[in-house]
Amino acid sequence: MITLALAGKPNCGKSTFFKAATMAQVEIANYPFTTIDANHGVAYVRTTCPCKELGIEGCTQCQDGVRFVPIAFIDVAGLVPDAHKGRGLGNQFLDNLRQADAILHVVDASGATDEEGNPVDPGSHDPREDIKFLGVEMTMWVHGILAKHWPRIQRQAQSKNYDIHDGVADVLAGLGITYEDSLHAATELGIDLQRSEIKDLVPFCELLLAKNKPVLFVANKMDTADKALLAELAEMDGVVSSAAAELALRMAADGGFIHYIPGDPSFTINEDANLSAQQRAGLEHLAALMAEHGGTGVQQAIDRTVFELLDQIVVYPVEDERHFTDKQGRVLPDAFLMPKGSTPKDLAFRVHTDIGEGFLYAVDARTDMRIKESTELKHGDIIKIVSAKK
């Protein structure tokens, strides 16, 4: 499963974002290091369910044609500058980022927390200062891991059957870094690792990370941020969000007060909702905020990370290609996230190793035509796999 992690300095709203996205019970408070042990949960990527477009009745897998595909989500303890040297609560939290395919870097755009995450008057800290540090911490953490092993790797790489890139891949495998990643990064930088001193390998580590842990910048607390500053942050190719607003909306929807599908630009108040004047005013305030920004940004941040940074598509395997169902008659029962460039055979293996091994051919359910095993699947494809193994 695709795994995303939330990272950033303490008190910027990571757990609020996590709670809104997963509806898990987690601790949220206005002081640094509220979260110590990482929270793990399930969040969802939003996509359009093909059932509407195809006019298929009886889909129970989507809400009004909006389909949510699960991903794993991790909320990590706050990081402070020099965390890689053990500052703050140390670098063990960087370790939690290992499992993540991509990172959402949450920044408190309201400037209401200093660089250590302590509450300060809104606007008294410049959030632009918080943007760079995560990349620096992550790079220096990877550099630290490599440094620990560097003399041994260089020594071993003098032997014939052990290349220096094998050494890099061995110690950084936990981060998903491979032999090819190391080779490509060294080639791109024009460096010979065998002759490099570890102190000169910071750009190498930075490049390895850029390729393996893409980061989306999330300017959170937009509800209390300075408008001009927010516009500037939005220009930096990130997503502007209010995790607190999203959490309030999801709780209100859960309580039956409003109709809101996560990621929608607006919501409607249910007519029979018994709301106090204060609750109604709160919802009106949220509606105005969403109208200004086109939504709360929480779902948008997750979707952009998965579809743009990680280049995923959603594919629907079915067993009955005429009715778009499984054998039990359930409409579009599964939705799989797969990297762009995946083929029907990759999908077969994703369904089950046996199905992959017995792969015979695939049928595009929309056209009812056979497709080649090497055909590149498209976002929204509905595919029947025919396999010798059942």
Strand, helix or coil at 160? coil
Kindly state whether residue 110 participates in binding Mg ion, applying the rule CB under 5 A: no
Site track for ligand GTP across 73-102, x = CB under 6 A: ----xx------------------------
Q: H or E stretch including 156?
A: helix 133-156
Does residue 30 bind ligand GTP (CB under 6 A)?
A: yes
CB atoms within 10 A of CB 350: 18
Integer Cα distance of 207 and 198 in angstroms: 15
At 160, list the tokens.
């014939």
343 makes contact with ligand GTP (CB under 6 A): no
Which residues, 6+ apart, have CB-to-CB distance to 273 below 8 Å? 256, 257, 258
Of 206, 223, 321, 381, the residue at the interface with ligand GTP (CB under 6 A) is 223
Taking a C-beta distance cutoff of 8 angstroms, is the pair 364, 372 a contact? no
Nearer to Mg ion (CB atom), residue 12 or residue 59: 12
Answer yes or no whether residue 12 interacts with ligand GTP by CB under 6 A.
yes
Query: Is 14 an interacting residue with respect to ligand GTP (CB under 6 A)?
Result: yes
Residue 220 binds which entry of Mg ion, ligand GTP, none, CB below 5-8 Å type-dependent = ligand GTP
Contact between 118 and ligand GTP by CB under 6 A: the answer reads: no
Q: Pick the binder of ligand GTP from 35, 91, 182, 342 (CB under 6 A).
A: 35
3-state secondary structure of 296: coil
Which residues, 1 to 20, sit near Mg ion by CB under 5 A? 14-15
Distance between start and end Cα atoms, the chain: 23
Say how far apart CA 354 and CA 28 lie, in whole Å.
Answer: 45
DSSP state of 320: B
Residue 22 in the binding site for ligand GTP (CB under 6 A): no
Q: Check binding of 35 to Mg ion (CB under 5 A).
A: yes
CB 387, min distance to ligand GTP, A:
45
Give yes or no for residue 299 binding ligand GTP (CB under 6 A). Answer: no
Write down the residue that tokens 């987690």 correspond to.
26
Q: Which residue has the tokens 């056209």?
A: 367
Which parts of this chain interact with ligand GTP (CB under 6 A)? Answer: 10-16, 28-30, 32-35, 77-78, 117, 220-221, 223-224, 242-244
Which parts of this chain interact with Mg ion (CB under 5 A)? Answer: 14-15, 34-35
